[in-house]
Copies of this chain bind each other. A is one copy, B any other.
Amino acid sequence: MRKSILRFSITLCLVSSISAQTAGGTLLGFTSGRADDQRAAEAKFDSYLKAENLSAWLKRLSARPHHLGSAYDKDNAEFIAAQFKSWGYDTQIESFDVLFPTPKTRVVEMTAPEKFTLRLNEPALKEDATSGQQDEQLPTYNAYSIDGDVTGPLVYVNYGRPVDYEILEQAGIDLKGKIAISRYGGSWRGIKPKVAAEHGMIGCIIYSDPRDDGYFQGDVYPKGAYRNENGVQRGSVMDMPTYPGDPLTKGIGALKGAPRIDAKSAPTLTKIPVLPISYGDALPLLKNMDGAVVPDAWKGALPITYHTGNKTPTVHMKLEFNWDIKPIYDVIAKMPGSERPNEWIIRGNHHDGWVNGADDPLSGQVAMMEEARGIAELAKTGWRPKRTIVYCAWDAEEEGLIGSTEWVETHAAELSQKAAVYINTDSNGRGFLGMAGSHTLEKFINEVAKDVPDPETKMSVWDRLRATQIVNGTPAQRNEAMSRSDLRIGALGSGSDYTPFLQHLGIASMNLGFGGEDGGGSYHSIYDSYDHFQRFVDPGNVYGVAMAKVGGRAVMRLANADTLPFDFGDFADTVGQYVGEVTHLADTMREDTRVLDQQITSGMWKAVQDPTETNIVPKVKDPVPYLNFAPLQNALAKLQDSVRNYQRVSAGKQPSPAQQAALDEVLYKTERALTRSEGLPRRDWFRHQIYAPGFYTGYGVKTVPGVREAIEQRDWREAAEQIMIVSRTIENFAAEIDKAAKMF
């Protein structure tokens, strides 16, 4: 479900020109002799990889719509399982029964000032071989919208974020009883109906504006890669920042016979009906809007003057769904470890799509399959991993990470004990390697990226990523990329299957994938097809093979290292940044509040408004108090001490073979120490205290979320409590490092 974006996950080595970065001879976690063997095995592994396999599987798996509950979804799961089995993996399909609403009635019509019934349909294109499979396609809709039949005036809410509603309040628009029209982007789609409902609105339409997703970016499909006027972004609007997975079985596996809540009372369904539409359907609505002209930052690329709306037009929306329970199929394939079988290296990518899903998720799925086949081939030559490798092809990711969440919830006890690392991929495109995840794995994944060549430039994917941070980054990013030995990896919010591993159980996780040169607008539409993928996303699947090399190295090194390659220096560095950010956030809010309050009370704010427009003077806000960040700063200092001590005692040493397994366990359970069984405020399913999806951003990460969100919500009491909680969390983590240090 991840939307392919090149993210500047920001980044020592004082190398200021491009050079081969292969650290030949040494590998994090490996004794020096074994490092050479490992690299030799990797070279052999590379030689097995064939782009033709990716292409053939992609064609086969995307040949028909394969969403949750469809015949072809099950067929694909069985095909994938059969492949893993044929390569020698111990393979099973695990099934769950989950709530999955599909549309029965979808009507949206403008009733005034003129009558217009929306098309709500993506037409077949002769240039796209699978686009005509109407009988099997899911209609355009947002899953987990409630049923509803509402009529009211339409108001344009920009991206539908809390900050957007401040502008509407200033414009004097009463939102009660009205229907929101929001553009996609700026926040995760599920946030839009959530915030609209919080403001008393009765319905929500979400459309793809061509500014963000259409002709503004490039030529539209089928001439070019971008979304045309009929393209619609399907997608789940389940309240995933509260909890993901089956809405009826929070925290437990959705097995047959599991206790279920009533569908109508599930807290993660929306509070108001929601439907996504194309910009072709949105144009007549937006053209007819009254109200004020919106701020420039709200304006899209339709050839109209964008207005807020207020009384015109009036829209009628009727949505009814089949509230079915449907089976889902996760494929789980294991290669047992030869030495430490109870330490699991887990690798996953989902297989379900919204329609044909060639890019999302099959591009990542076929790369993972070729990676798994390469490792299996290598195993046939006698290579064995010390630790157990587990490959997972998840179902029902699109609806809310359901396949992975139900599996993690079902196997939580075992996973808490055995899972060392989870590596996720999803859609894979062309360009630069995106790396995000637990910062204890930052040094490790940097080392992997230095050993994989970029298909286009032949330099390492690490060198190319560093080059783009230097050439295209901000001055701060450029300086960091030029001076820091590791490129800084991003933090994980949500939007793919790492969430239950990382944020529910505290399993160190990473999400990897190429992108940045594969712009396009097929996301969650019928045009995410084999034809579109091969023309625009990764022609010939060459970056798919590069992904298999990255994924394969990561899995093999994690599975086969003498000691798990965790490193705490980069983690402490990044946590230090987060502590700096939340401190700065409070300071900035304090100054901004002071300045704005002064402008309001002095009358200046009102004086500069155009009196011919409606501009409601904002309410004065309470001053932002100084918060006691000392506990957090002391915890950080303790962490830095522990890290330095660990680095000193472990430098150049290996624990005895007998102690290695015990050390491994301490190392991979450090991530568990970052969780808290009570979870985050108002969302106990999310237990990680450093990384979480934002309550009001959805996919977008909030680091040190308890503190950061309390400050953002101006809840100073909670902010003070959360500072104490996060401080203790960091101290607990430091204590685990101290425990590891004693094992040398």
Nearest CB on B from A7, distance (A): 15
Q: Does A467 contact B (CB under 8 A)?
A: yes
A611 to B432, CA, bound (A): 13
Q: Is the CB of B16 within 8 A of A602?
A: yes
Q: Does A207 contact B (CB under 8 A)?
A: no
Q: Is the CB of A608 within 8 A of B472?
A: yes
Q: Does A218 contact B (CB under 8 A)?
A: yes
Q: Does A517 contact B (CB under 8 A)?
A: yes
A701 to B218, CA, bound (A): 36
Q: Is the CB of B608 within 8 A of A468?
A: yes
Q: Is the CB of B610 within 8 A of A17?
A: no
Q: Is the CB of A218 within 8 A of B305?
A: yes
Nearest CB on B from A489, distance (A): 19
Q: Does A713 contact B (CB under 8 A)?
A: no
Q: Does A605 contact B (CB under 8 A)?
A: yes
Quick one: closest B residue to A220, CB to CB?
A: B305
Q: Does A224 contact B (CB under 8 A)?
A: yes
User: CB-CB contacts of A564-606 with B at 8 A, as 1s and 0s?
Assistant: 0000000000000000000000000000000100110111110
A517 to B615, CA, bound (A): 14
Task: Indicate whether A467 sits within 8 Å of B608 (C-beta atoms), given known contacts A293-B218, A304-B215.
Answer: yes
Stretch from A73-81, A148-156, A191-199, A456-464 at the B interface: A456-464
List chain B residues, Cβ under 8 A from A517.
610, 612
Across the interface, A219 reaches (CB within 8 A) one of B293, B459, B464, B595, namely B293
A457 to B604, CA, bound (A): 10
Of the candidates A293, A605, A607, A612, the one having the most CB atoms from chain B within 10 angstroms of its own CB is A607
A595 to B16, CA, bound (A): 11
Nearest CB on B from A514, distance (A): 13
Q: Does A301 contact B (CB under 8 A)?
A: yes
List chain B residues, Cβ under 8 A from A304.
215
Q: Does A118 contact B (CB under 8 A)?
A: no
Quick one: closest B residue to A478, CB to CB?
A: B595
Q: Does A657 contact B (CB under 8 A)?
A: no
Q: Is the CB of B302 within 8 A of A303?
A: yes
Nearest CB on B from A495, distance (A): 24
Q: Does A490 contact B (CB under 8 A)?
A: no
Q: In residues 586-644 of chain A, which contact B (Cβ within 8 Å)? A: 595, 598-599, 601-605, 607-608, 610-612
Quick one: closest B residue to A472, CB to CB?
A: B608
List chain B residues, Cβ under 8 A from A662.
none
Q: In residues 407-459 of chain A, which contact B (Cβ within 8 Å)? A: 431-432, 456-457, 459
Known: A220-B305, A468-B608, A471-B605. 18 other contacts (CB 8 A): A16-B598, A17-B602, A17-B603, A17-B604, A18-B604, A217-B305, A218-B305, A224-B305, A226-B305, A301-B303, A457-B611, A459-B607, A464-B607, A467-B604, A467-B607, A467-B608, A472-B608, A517-B610
A contacts, CB < 8 Å to B: 16-18, 210, 215-220, 224, 226, 293, 299, 301-305, 431-432, 456-457, 459, 463-464, 467-468, 470-472, 478, 517, 595, 598-599, 601-605, 607-608, 610-612
Enumerate 14 A-B pairs (CB-CB under 8 Å) in ascending A order: A16-B598, A17-B602, A18-B602, A18-B604, A215-B304, A215-B305, A218-B305, A219-B305, A301-B301, A303-B303, A431-B610, A471-B599, A517-B610, A517-B612
